[in-house]
Amino acid sequence: MSTTASPLAPRADFPALADHNYLNSASISIMAKPVREAMERLTRRILHAGTVSLDEEAEVQALEIAREPVFVGWRGTADMWGFDATELTYAPSLRRFEFSTMSYMSGYGLGEALRYVHSLGVKSIFDHDLGLAGQLIEGLERLGARALTPREPSRRSGIVTARFPGRNGEKMAAELNRRKVVVSPRFGSTRFSPHFFNGSDEIEQALSVLAGIL
């Protein structure tokens, strides 16, 4: 899912997304947009829950606990070039959550992917994907499939998931892949993920292949 397309993104403390799917990057890197004071807000929501009132000292202690990294790496320490294994002092900034040396090739690939996406236009891509998804939903329903994806454009992305009554979704996905229609099995259903590199003719071709299986 594209985080930027989600209505939850503006309200998220740490919106994050992977770049290897809809951003079309060859790498597998994670991007996160840290928001200042987000950890404070998150801690207060978790501990207060609208009813609990903590004194200042207790809240500071709770905040420090919330700031404890789950995975600790050398880049997350205050003196990352010290390499002192006898002492652990976290960096005072969000760098404390960095684990190790980043993959520079992944970063370069991500940059190129972002430039390409922006050259096409994010809204143009989104509208294109919604159009393909709508075409796919209509075609699937004509073939007797039950689309699990909402029909309303405002409630969906370009991903379409469907089930085929009386058919095993995993086997359906395997057969489609064998016939060069790339899909993914999803808990008894089949997921289609058209994107900007697909066209309407390819949707019709996929539906034709599916009709041959059914």
pLDDT of residue 48: 53
31 has a pLDDT exceeding 60: no
More confident residue, 180 or 3: 180
Q: Which helix (H) or strand (E) holds 160?
A: strand 160-163
For the whole model, what pTM was predicted? 0.65
pLDDT band at 90 (very low <50, low <70, confident <90, very high): confident
Count of beta carbons in the 10 Å neighbourhood of residue 140: 23
What is the per-residue pLDDT for 202? Answer: 95
Q: What is the pLDDT of residue 3?
A: 38
Strand partners, 27: none
For residues 193 and 158, give the distance between their C-alpha atoms in angstroms, rounded to a whole number. Answer: 6
| Domains identified in the chain and CATH numbers | 3-68+102-115 (no CATH), 121-213 (3.90.1150.10)
Give mean pLDDT, residues 34-62.
52
Q: What share of the chain is helix, strand, coil (3-state, %, to 5)?
A: 45, 10, 45
